[in-house]
Chain A
Amino acid sequence: MIELISQNPILAALVALVGLAILFGALLGFAAEKFKVEGDPIVEQIDELLPQTQCGQCGFPGCRPYAESIANGDEINKCPPGGQSTINAIASLLDVPAPELDAEHGEESEVKTVAYIREDECIGCTKCIQACPVDAILGAAKLMHTVIADECTGCDLCVEPCPVDCIDMLPVEETIADWRWSIPAQPGQPGQMIATDRRGELESQSTSGDAA
């Protein structure tokens, strides 16, 4: 065997290389079948970044269709509820420059809102129930309807169909539980208490290290 190889080095090398090529080819082919990616992962990733209000302001029936459209090359600045932060996030995901929000589709609002039905005026027509993309309105024909505030995404879609205009979009009030610190813009704001007692330190420095 060794003699055969040493006598035909070129042939032996050829056989070895062809063998390796077949082996790895088979391996790759197997892997391609075994670990096949189902669907388009980029759509999922874009969908994750969209705010899921399902408001349709982008012109698509929901966030996922818009995500699919972005994956196919649509503009990324059509989502007013997400605003600039969503545009920036998608831009960094897709590695494209982040454009300004397209004003044609609406403006970014500062405050979050939820729908509220003035229940005395509701006539029970179920039109808002049909319009709600997340099934957040409860009620039946000729009976009063109400919005489950926790489920409402604030998409405004129920306001337009209401024949008696009894739906208001109310801003979500901030409670102590959702309050959060803001990045200190200006030093010297009240409430910034941490580690400001330096008198002792200064004194101890002036009296050559006589610490408390």
Chain B
Amino acid sequence: MNKTWVTPGGVHPPENKLQSVTQGIGQLPIPETLVIPLSQHIGAAAIPCVEVGQSVLKGQVIAKPAGVVSIPMHAPTSGTVSAIEHRPIAHSSGMLAPCIEITSDGADTWIEHEGISDYEHISPTKLVEMVGNAGISGMGGAGFPSAVKLNPGRQRPIDTLIVNATECEPYITADDSAIRERAAEIVEGIKILSAILGHPHHIMIGIEDNKPEAIEALAPHVEGTGISVVVFPTKYPSGGEKQLIYILTSKELPSGKLPADIGMVCINIGTTYAIKRAIIDGEPLVSRVTTVTGDAVGIQRNYDTLIGTPVSHLLAHNEYNEQAGGRVVMGGPMMGFTLPSADVPIVKTTNCILAPSYAEIPDDEPAQPCIRCGMCAEACPASLLPQQLFWYAQAQDHERLEAHNLFDCIECGACSYVCPSNIPLVQYYRAAKGEIRHAQDEKVKADHARERFEFHKERIEQAEREKEEKRAARREAALKAKAAAAEKPADKSDSAPSSSAADIIAAAQARAAAKQVSPEDQQAKLERTIAAAEQRLIVAEQKLAEAIESNSDKQAVLSAAVENTRQKLQQSKTKLAELTA
């Protein structure tokens, strides 16, 4: 039995998990149309590589990754690409995002695919590449591309692999039921991960003690593999990455660091299943287990849902009673968000669709003033001061917010849950985080603009300077020439004071003689001129003839040109005759 540690804070909300795990993982009929958002993860959105009207097979790549932190998208079923456009997606903003719509043909035909069974003999780099090509991103929370997380080009060797099977949020049972039914494949996936990471010393599956069936299901498969299943008391939010690392190893992840910086990798258990499918079966990530629960749906259970399935499709097949339910939530009641509409698709990170009745989750009560009771500080799993953060968020005091480590807040909602005044604390933190990030972006942009402006100024100044220098040089040259011109006569008057007009004429004649070139050269030059003029004359005459033929209005101009050329030729010829004579 592994020792576990206890994190500070935490709450015990009603779990509401039993209603959705009794029936096992179900299958839904394939929806008519599936919508695949091009960005379902942290990093750059994928670039579509199919065209509207093209038929695709299940598992075919429909969008290619853009850059390193990006993953490809695959067709979740066979059919035709019916649209590539902006569609509503599961995002709190309710904004549209680029998506690919596939109209299914109902046949669900797989593309040819092939896995490998002897992954032990394949280099980790190749395995990571396969994981990346299968379009796997973290299926627990933020959706970080798994291939980037597993990238072997790191400085520190990984000595601990933590598999997160905590699933601490109420209502959600997707991981629980997946473990119950797919324990063997999950353990296989963990073995592949271990091979990728160079067989870390410790491999732990962290799981809360409210899932005895799942723990039992894992037990026979992990025997003798070196993988330990670590069970710890149920408390929300034990499933946060930092919290789980502390519970299992008593190591605290420093602020702003990744688990890899302290030699750990933390992976969701659903992702390990997807990795097994990708390597052993060669299947990309096209479906995931999603819990459909809440009192407003008649059937509460888990489904193996195709990525891109509209939420409305899930609800329609589970006897959704719109009158009973106030809203549809993606995720759990603590960290999930209300969907702007039920037409949005399931994505790779959707672990739960919660359709609560009004009685189950009533509308928020109006917030009362903070009474400084301090319960939020006791509940905070990150040991922050929620109350102080609340004041500073209201005042938009970014400096103080950062000084109070706002960015260590995991937005778990424990503080809001315990607040007797119903203050939506986490909403304030989210907004403040957004404001700070925005301010940072603006700052970077402003700095960039300043740099460009300064360069621009310098460039203009330099051009001006160069111009000025040139002007100065020219002025100096002109002055010098003037001075020289002024000096020369002065020189002559010095050397020959009795100079007369005859002398000057003689000097001029001498200069002219010096300039004179030999008669042979002159003759050659004239001959060249005549040859060129003759050529020109021929061309001009031709043009004139053409113009006359086509009765062009250029006749007058051309005939003048011909006459001109002829005269010049005549002049040159007379000159040559003079010279040779």
Please report the C-alpha to C-alpha distance between residue A51 and residue B442 in the assembled complex, in whole angstroms.
8
Across the two chains, which residue of chain B brings its CB closest to A53?
B449
Segment from A10-18, A22-30, A99-107, A176-184 that makes contact with B: A176-184
Cβ of A206 within 8 Å of any chain B Cβ, yes or no, is no
How many chain A residues sit at the interface, stated as a range, is 35 or more
Segment from B195-203, B354-362, B513-521, B528-536 that makes contact with A: B354-362
Please report the C-alpha to C-alpha distance between residue A181 and residue B92 in the assembled complex, in whole angstroms.
9
Looking at the assembled complex, report how far the CB atom of B75 sits from the nearest CB atom of chain A, in whole angstroms: 23
Given known pairs A135-B456, A181-B427, A197-B356, the reply for A191 and B337 (CB within 8 Å) is yes
Cβ of A6 within 8 Å of any chain B Cβ, yes or no, is no
Find out whether the CB atom of B416 lies under 8 angstroms from the CB atom of A195: yes
Report which of A187, A193, A195, A212 forms a contact with B16, defined as CB distance below 8 A.
A212
Find out whether the CB atom of A211 lies under 8 angstroms from the CB atom of B12: yes
Cβ of B91 within 8 Å of any chain A Cβ, yes or no, is yes
Given known pairs A135-B456, A200-B16, the reply for A191 and B363 (CB within 8 Å) is no
0/1 interface trace, chain A 171-212, chain B, CB 8 Å (1 if under): 000111011111110011011111111111101100000011
Looking at B363, B366, B414, B432, which has the most chain A CB atoms within 10 Å of its CB?
B363
Looking at the assembled complex, report how far the CB atom of B336 sits from the nearest CB atom of chain A, in whole angstroms: 5
Tell me how many residues of B have a C-beta within 8 Å of chain A: 69
Contacts of B457 in A (CB 8 A): 62
Cβ of A136 within 8 Å of any chain B Cβ, yes or no, is yes
Find out whether the CB atom of A183 lies under 8 angstroms from the CB atom of B12: no
Please report the C-alpha to C-alpha distance between residue A198 and residue B365 in the assembled complex, in whole angstroms.
11
Given known pairs A187-B367, A200-B13, the reply for A54 and B453 (CB within 8 Å) is yes
Segment from B109-117, B172-180, B433-441 that makes contact with A: B433-441
Find out whether the CB atom of B437 lies under 8 angstroms from the CB atom of A180: yes
Find out whether the CB atom of A183 lies under 8 angstroms from the CB atom of B393: yes
Contacts of A199 in B (CB 8 A): 14, 359-362
Contacts of A132 in B (CB 8 A): 456
Contacts of B14 in A (CB 8 A): 197, 199-201, 203-204, 211-212
Looking at the assembled complex, report how far the CB atom of A188 sits from the nearest CB atom of chain B, in whole angstroms: 5
Given known pairs A63-B450, A183-B394, A190-B327, the reply for A197 and B360 (CB within 8 Å) is yes
Counted as pairs of residues, one from A and one from B, with CB atoms less than 8 Å apart, the total is: 148
Looking at the assembled complex, report how far the CB atom of B333 sits from the nearest CB atom of chain A, in whole angstroms: 4
Find out whether the CB atom of A181 lies under 8 angstroms from the CB atom of B430: yes
Contacts of A197 in B (CB 8 A): 13-14, 16, 170, 333-334, 356, 360-361
Cβ of B545 within 8 Å of any chain A Cβ, yes or no, is no
Contacts of A153 in B (CB 8 A): 449
Tell me the chain A residues, 141-175 only, with Cβ under 8 Å from chain B. 151, 153, 174-175
Contacts of A136 in B (CB 8 A): 452
0/1 interface trace, chain A 29-64, chain B, CB 8 Å (1 if under): 000000000000000000100111110000000111
Find out whether the CB atom of B335 lies under 8 angstroms from the CB atom of A194: yes
Find out whether the CB atom of B411 lies under 8 angstroms from the CB atom of A181: no
Tell me the chain B residues, 368-397 only, with Cβ under 8 Å from chain A. 393-394, 396
Given known pairs A134-B452, A195-B333, the reply for A180 and B438 (CB within 8 Å) is yes
Please report the C-alpha to C-alpha distance between residue A186 and residue B462 in the assembled complex, in whole angstroms.
56
Report which of B170, B336, B453 forms a contact with A62, defined as CB distance below 8 A.
B453
Cβ of A83 within 8 Å of any chain B Cβ, yes or no, is no
User: What is the interface of chain B, defined by CB distance below 8 A to chain A?
Assistant: 12-16, 39, 89, 91-93, 95, 97, 170, 327, 329, 331, 333-338, 340, 356, 359-367, 393-394, 396, 411, 413-414, 416-417, 422, 424, 426-428, 430-435, 437-438, 441-442, 445-450, 452-457, 459
User: What is the interface of chain A, defined by CB distance below 8 A to chain B?
Assistant: 47, 50-54, 62-64, 132-136, 151, 153, 174-176, 178-184, 187-188, 190-201, 203-204, 211-212
Query: 27 interchain pairs (CB within 8 A)?
Result: A47-B450, A52-B446, A52-B450, A134-B452, A135-B455, A174-B95, A176-B91, A181-B427, A184-B367, A184-B424, A184-B428, A187-B366, A188-B366, A191-B337, A192-B338, A192-B427, A193-B331, A194-B334, A194-B424, A197-B14, A197-B170, A197-B356, A197-B361, A199-B359, A199-B360, A200-B16, A212-B14
